[in-house]
Amino acid sequence: MSSESANLAATKISTRAVIASFGIFVSVLFWLVVATYPTFFFFNPLAETDSLRAAVLTISTIGWVLIATGPVVLFVLYALGHPRALRLLPIVSLVWPISLLINHVSLYIQKGQWFTGYLLDYPIFVATDILLPVLLIVVWAELRNSFTAHPQHAK
């Protein structure tokens, strides 16, 4: 193996380790927010009498579990040589913020008031609800060439 090939292989391993570490950091960060504000996250969405609201809250619950757990799983799989796992990153990244948006709009329609003041009262939620999903999509956009088929293989 030439020294150039060895350097390229070492760079790939190093990059994969950084990606795995990033996934671990993102998931730990989200879980720390969950642990700090458990009442924001742990509740029974089916206790709602309004079935539409219960459905929205159920999707929201699925969304936060996905974004809290998905990055570590997907990025570690990527680091272990399974780049196609990253195809799921947009779903993992966007279910949570989209469900929050639907929740806020439906609350506005039902009650005539926006319930987004928590973003000012608890600014860490700006990170979990807005910045983190955007960051994950940016990383996905940067890495997607590693798991998309090359034109000669798509035929």
**pLDDT tens-digit readout, 4-21:** 665 555 567 788 999 999
The tens digit of pLDDT for each residue in 111-138 reads 999 999 999 999 999 999 999 999 999 9
Which residues in 114-130 are b (16+ Cβ under 10 Å) and which e?
eeeeeeeeeeebeebbe
State the pLDDT at residue 49: 94
CA angle 75, 81, 82 (to 5 degrees): 65
State the pLDDT at residue 125: 98
pTM for the complete prediction? Answer: 0.86
The tens digit of pLDDT for each residue in 95-112 reads 999 999 999 999 999 999
Q: Rounded CA gap, 62 and 83, in Å?
A: 24
CA atoms within 13 A on the CB side of 89: 30
